[in-house]
Structure 1
């Protein structure tokens, strides 16, 4: 439920990432997890103690998802399962859940998350976005695919897939392409039984709003929050595509957002390191006056 309050924005900790991505709130630990893609790290920040821990990863992880016992990670060569990380120790051995065959060797996974039924969705992209190559795909990992060691490509012709999110009832899927030549957010009807998106249509043309569409989240009211990369905003759109508000973030390249905190009333926002901006690459906590939804757990 929305409250009429002035949003506050503050930095959490002193962590700085090359590309902070895929923040996920772990209610059981009262902690925020996220990944630094080029830094090849998994981060955790404890809400109450403020302690931050990080673990080295063998590949770049574009996005992560909670599993029943550990974390799923969409990396460069596939999707892996990591055991629960322990402070002061190395991350345990990773189990490969699925291998992906990219169109080129210089590709990796980027944005992704679980749907409300626990299927893991993640998109791929070419490292060098200046090439503008539409070789990215959106993949789905469900229990059947994981048993076969594969992921299923569902949508193609993507340059930089981003903004993946699902409505509270799970029946609408959102997806963006943040490349400068596109800057579009689509909505799909979503079959919750089969995990199939259909009836694709333009939800938001971000060419009409500040910033390129990056990572996103949906709140308990069904509104869609999207990071306006390059413009230093997080925008909230209503389910009918109307811009409801924009909150300024104190760095120009916010990357992805997720609701968390004990009351799910904090919007955590990661960012990308640039130039001499001392706050770039930091992670921020926003109190927007609305609450979010619990993050689904991967079902294998």
Structure 2
């Protein structure tokens, strides 16, 4: 396994569940969330300072909008978030989650290459192994779709190929640990021909959050495996980068020329003496990423 290069931790904070990292080229800043802490973090690379905003409920994923604010998957629905206030994000409900109930929330989410927002749900008590997770598509014009995929335990790993014609999705639950690929109709936003892309039960870690590089390779955090893995478009692992934390959660490209990767992580036992658990780190993976597409309100 290849050791990491040019790695650095950003900020002194430790997240409980760090997720959904995003690079803002206009602000020269990284954003990510801490789900249980109900926080959105920002790290300004020009000042090397970090700060956060609180939210009223758990925010699991965020994407930038073309209007300068965020769209977010939370506990009870999809929200529009403004970070103009000093302490608390200003929240506007866009659409309620149809099956919203205590114990259920949105999990992984992002925009496709055309700017449609996708997010999936999960039952938070993973020990219960309830396969009630669903994947939804949202646009301002059409609203929230009917479930596009259902029967998921822990929805994760959403990503699109550089041309947008292949969609990736994972289920990171220990009972699944599968990654699928789909053909993707970029005009209608419809996935089809679901097929197994990779079974990570034979690899280190569980398939968590993901990113795609300019070569069309799919990078995924190996949660519990202390690594990020790169799969070729054919589903072959051609690179493994060791990380100093056991539970990396999601990776994202950004920085100058999108040659840096930010990796968030999970601290399952806050207060324990684990230097890297929950840290957010930057490294150079030796590949170039692709800018995320903004959502259009």
TM norm. shorter chain > 0.5:
yes
1:21 to 2, 19, 22: 19
Measure the CA separation in 2 of the matches of 1:99 and 1:79: 7
Write the distance in 1 (CA, Å) between the matches of 2:220 and 2:202: 14
CA contact (8 A) 1:145 1:152 kept: no
Find runs of 4+ consecutive structure 1 residues off by over 6 angstroms: none
Residue 93 of structure 1: CA displacement?
Answer: 2.6
Q: For the Cα contact (< 8 Å) 1:103–1:135, is it kept in 2?
A: no
Give the C-alpha shift of residue 95 in structure 1: 1.2
Quote the offset at 1:103 in angstroms. 6.6
Structure 1 partner of 2:235: 241
Aligned equivalents of 1:77, 1:103: Cα separation in 2? 5
Distance in 2 between residues matched to 1:200 and 1:52, nearest whole Å: 40
2:212 is aligned to 218
Instruction: Work out the number of aligned pairs and report it.
Output: 292
How far has the Cα of 1:6 moved from its partner? 6.8
Q: Where does structure 1 lack aligned partners over 5 or more consecutive residues?
A: none
2:132 corresponds to: 135
TM-score normalised per structure 1: 0.94
Distance in 2, Cα, partners of 1:91 & 1:151 = 29
Aligned CA RMSD, in angstroms, stands at 1.6
Partner SS, residue 157 of structure 1: strand
Asked if structure 2 preserves the Cα contact closer than 8 Å seen for 1:172 and 1:190, the reply is: yes
How far apart in 1 are the matches of 2:244 and 2:138?
35
Change (3 A) 1:35 1:85: farther
Partner of 1:285: 282
Look up the SS of the partner of 1:164 in the other structure.
Answer: strand
Superposition deviation, residue 11 in structure 1? 1.1
Q: Deviations over 1:142-194 (max 9, x none)?
A: 12233xxx443211000000010000000000000000011000000000000
Preserved contact between residue 25 and residue 261 of structure 1 (Cα < 8 Å): yes
User: 2:53 touches 2:89 (CA, 8 Å); kept in 1?
Assistant: no
Corresponding residue number in structure 2 for 1:207: 201
Aligned to 2:93: 96
Does structure 1 conserve the Cα–Cα contact (< 8 Å) formed by 2:3 and 2:241?
no
Query: Any unmatched runs of 5+ in structure 2?
Result: none
